[in-house]
Amino acid sequence: MSSDKLADARWFKSSWSTPEGECVEVAFLGDGEIATRDSKVGGTESVLLFGTRQWDAFVRNLNA
């Protein structure tokens, strides 16, 4: 993954995250993609990218 694409990403964690830092971080990118990463790893090595349709389906299924 190109780190240029993620250079300006603003990562955030859910308010439900644990104080131990074992969370998933999310960044909404300017091109409409959504990036996710493991907060323990950080950086760009473990980033997964979703398009808006895939992200909507993912979030919808979290509550199923």
pTM > 0.85: yes or no: no
Domain containing 46 equals 12-62
**What is the arithmetic mean of pLDDT over 12-36?**
84
Segment holding 54, helix H or strand E? helix 52-62
Closest alpha carbon to 6 in 21, 19, 25:
25
64 token code pair: 């199923």
In a domain, 7, yes or no: no
2 found inside a domain: no
How many structural domains comprise the chain? 1
4 in a structural domain: no
Q: Looking at the predicted structure, is the pLDDT value of residue 1 above 60?
A: no
Residue 53 pLDDT level (bands cut at 50, 70, 90): very high
How far is 47 from 37, CA to CA, in rounded Å? 5
In a domain, residue 3? The reply is no
